[in-house]
Structure 1
Amino acid sequence: MSAAETTTAKVPPTRQAPSPGSTGTPGKKTGRTSRNGTAAAPWALLAPCLLVLVLVLGYPLVRLVTLSFQDFGKSQLWGFKETTTVGLANFTKLFSDGEFWAVVVRTILFAAGAVIFTMVIGMMIALLLQKVAGWVKILINVALIASWGMPIVVSTTVFKWMFDTDYGVLNYLLDKLPGVDMNGHNWFASGPQGLAVIMLLVVWGAVPFVVITLSAGLTQVPKELEEAARLDGAGAIKVFRYVTLPILKPIIVMLTTLSLIWDMGVFPQVFVMRNGHPEAEFQLLTTYSYDKAFVVNDYSGGSAIALVTVLLLLGVVAVYMRQMLKIGEVE
């Protein structure tokens, strides 16, 4: 090979300068396009779900808000009178009604009590499931899922029979205890006692979900941390408080919020337990709104009560979101 040929072979090929607007790498997308595509992907995946929510919940919610600011009763429903806008008159009338505030307080106390009992009982059962044999855990989980899957009307009917005045199995068993006379005892003679029975029904139906979720969360607690705490002299209570509980905090916050939303929206348990006609001392916001709208035929008043209930639940959701954001910042 001649010197000229050797020199020519060693000269690298000339690289062309990138044209204006190009990235300099052929076949590679720009960073802006990639970021836009990444940002649009979640919305594209959520679009079907958002569309269904708008179709299923959008119109009822808009109609609820509209009725809350109108005078709409049976005459307007049948077309005998025209619907008129009354502004805040429905809410003014509602907030000046002492019965409404009694129902609000009763609903909050009922929901708070149900949530506390649900979380405490659920946590205790979940912790006990970590200590039993595998086959026992399977049997308990099957029983929990079976009770959780039972229709509300069926479970309510069973509870009605258990607490029946004349043929209730609970009265029969308690009457066998020495010094206890429960023959013919009416559990629904007073509001607090009857609501306690309904609360027990709500807790019974909610505990399986809490137990299964907490059991799954307990499997994520590192055993090394618990063993290290025990070696340092911590007892079972301190291990749970300072090791287990902080790890389970996101799950507990989620379960507490969901339970509070569900328990504030309790309707079929009260409605079926009181044979479709809940007395005044058994009224919660859901049944009170129903009676106002479909028993008294004051649809605008019932809508105002339902709208206030929705706003209360949105407040619960706002607190939940704030807590979750705090947990995310700490992590």
Structure 2
Amino acid sequence: MKAADPPAAAAPVPVGAGDPRSPRPSEPPPRARRKAGALLPYLLIAPAFVAIAAVFVWPLVKTVLMSFQDVGRRELWSGQAAPWVGFEQFTNILGDGEFWAVVLRTVVFMVICVTVTMAAGLGISMLMQRMDTWVRLLLTAALVAAWSMPLLVATSIFRWFADSDYGVLNMVLTKYLGVDAQGHNWFLDPKQGFVIIGAVVVWGAIPFVAVTLYAALTQVPKELEEAAALDGAGVTGIFRYVTWPVIKPVFQMVGTLSVLWDFNVFGQVFLIRGNKPEPEYSLLGIYSFEKAFESNSFSQGAAISLITVLLLSGVAVYYLRQLLKIGEVE
């Protein structure tokens, strides 16, 4: 009988080939994978950064450069290099009494508009708490509709309200209040004209303030208000010691935004005055526009814009601090 053949020798197995922990030859090492994973979020947001730089950063850089040059119409349209004048534009502007008169007018206008907006918005938000659900929904829809109305439409409506011949305002004053306002031109006196312009600004800003403050009021614990009422606190006491501490951060944040917006009012004045505001109606935005495009002093317009940014920088820092405080509380 023939003896059985011995079993064939098994092929040698490479060291570590059967170990599942060993890296496969086709995969990158763990360190490279971690590095690629760390770069992935930055690669995903890179297009957004490029778009922001193109829309915001580059115009800001260009404005800063123009403020230190003497850019005229020839340099702007031909692309020729403009001469550098250093701080001459800023010196001329800061030494001009008209500029400081415009700054004072802008500050006064902003303070009045912000005060009226915040007071009316807070009052409406507190009324919304006491309304039935369907009434509150109708009011919210009306506020959102007013807020989303284009500025051109809103200014056209208010121009019609204040029209000297066919305006609703003159008709109501004459017919129902006994004031002889027939044919009265509200824009001959800048004080009366700014009342109409301020009404446009406040009317467009109240919806955002009211809805935002109402959202803050919904976070006030009802138990604390009821406990304060049982302890004998009145409406003023409940608001001062219970409601106000809760809504104060949101109120400050919205108020700061209102300051930033109302300080840079441009479209309301420009459109209501028929694209040609009188000098008495010049705010900083209008003043910068006129210097740049009517006087063809583009560098002065850029310098005024930078001065406006510097004037508002403190308000912007305060707004960012409020955002950080709210984030810490949450």
TM-score (normalizing by structure 2):
0.84
Could you tell me which residue of structure 1 aligns to residue 296 of structure 2? Answer: 297
Measure the CA separation in 2 of the matches of 1:221 and 1:46: 37
Q: 1:108 to 1:131 in 2, by over 3 A?
A: same
Measure the CA separation in 1 of the matches of 2:241 and 2:123: 17
Q: What are the equivalent positions in structure 2 for 1:41-56 lying under 5 Å apart?
A: 47-56=46-55
Could you tell me which residue of structure 2 aligns to residue 273 of structure 1? Answer: 272
Between stretches 76-85 and 42-51, larger displacement belongs to: 42-51
Could you tell me which residue of structure 1 aligns to residue 202 of structure 2? Answer: 203
Please state how far the C-alpha of 1:330 moved relative to its aligned partner: 7.6
Could you tell me which residue of structure 1 aligns to residue 252 of structure 2? Answer: 253
- Unaligned segments of structure 2, at least 5 residues: 1-29
1:143 aligns with 2:113: no
Between stretches 300-309 and 71-80, larger displacement belongs to: 71-80
The AA in structure 1 aligned to 2:284 is L
Could you tell me which residue of structure 2 aligns to residue 162 of structure 1? Answer: 161
Could you tell me which residue of structure 1 aligns to residue 312 of structure 2? Answer: 313
The answer to whether the 8 Å contact 2:113/2:201 transfers is yes
The AA in structure 2 aligned to 1:185 is H
1:242 aligns with 2:280: no
Between stretches 75-84 and 40-49, larger displacement belongs to: 40-49
The AA in structure 1 aligned to 2:254 is L
Q: 1:252 to 1:41 in 2, by over 3 A?
A: farther
Could you tell me which residue of structure 2 aligns to residue 106 of structure 1? Answer: 105
Could you tell me which residue of structure 1 aligns to residue 219 of structure 2? Answer: 220
Deviations 1:264-317 (A, max 9, x none): 111111100000111111001111111111111110011101111122222211
Measured on the aligned residues, the alpha-carbon RMSD in Å equals 2.4
Please state how far the C-alpha of 1:177 moved relative to its aligned partner: 3.3
Could you tell me which residue of structure 2 aligns to residue 4 of structure 1? Answer: none
Please state how far the C-alpha of 1:218 moved relative to its aligned partner: 1.1
- Unaligned segments of structure 1, at least 5 residues: 1-28
1:67 aligns with 2:66: yes
Measure the CA separation in 2 of the matches of 1:249 and 1:50: 33
Please state how far the C-alpha of 1:327 moved relative to its aligned partner: 6.1
Please state how far the C-alpha of 1:91 moved relative to its aligned partner: 0.3
Could you tell me which residue of structure 2 aligns to residue 118 of structure 1? Answer: 117
The AA in structure 2 aligned to 1:229 is A
Deviations 1:66-114 (A, max 9, x none): 0000011123234497510000000000001011111111111111111
* Larger-gyration structure (1/2): 2
The AA in structure 2 aligned to 1:277 is K
Between stretches 69-78 and 246-255, larger displacement belongs to: 69-78
Measure the CA separation in 2 of the matches of 1:133 and 1:48: 46
Q: 1:229 to 1:111 in 2, by over 3 A?
A: same
Q: 1:223 to 1:168 in 2, by over 3 A?
A: same
Please state how far the C-alpha of 1:322 moved relative to its aligned partner: 3.4
SS of structure 1 residue aligned to 2:185 = coil
Q: 1:43 to 1:128 in 2, by over 3 A?
A: farther
Deviations 1:97-155 (A, max 9, x none): 01111111111111111111111100000000111111111111111111111100000
Q: 1:81 to 1:219 in 2, by over 3 A?
A: closer
Q: 1:46 to 1:219 in 2, by over 3 A?
A: farther
Q: What are the equivalent positions in structure 2 for 1:85-104 lying under 5 Å apart?
A: 85-104=84-103
The AA in structure 2 aligned to 1:137 is R
The AA in structure 2 aligned to 1:235 is G
Measure the CA separation in 2 of the matches of 1:106 and 1:42: 47
Measure the CA separation in 2 of the matches of 1:199 and 1:71: 35
The answer to whether the 8 Å contact 2:253/2:322 transfers is no
Measure the CA separation in 1 of the matches of 2:41 and 2:223: 37
Measure the CA separation in 2 of the matches of 1:293 and 1:79: 17
Measure the CA separation in 1 of the matches of 2:79 and 2:234: 73
Measure the CA separation in 2 of the matches of 1:80 and 1:217: 52
Could you tell me which residue of structure 1 aligns to residue 18 of structure 2? Answer: none
Report the number of matched residues.
Answer: 298
Measure the CA separation in 2 of the matches of 1:223 and 1:44: 47
SS of structure 2 residue aligned to 1:167 = coil
Q: 1:225 to 1:80 in 2, by over 3 A?
A: closer
Please state how far the C-alpha of 1:48 moved relative to its aligned partner: 4.6
The AA in structure 2 aligned to 1:90 is Q
SS of structure 2 residue aligned to 1:287 = helix
Q: Percent identity?
A: 51
Between stretches 235-244 and 320-329, larger displacement belongs to: 320-329
SS of structure 2 residue aligned to 1:141 = helix
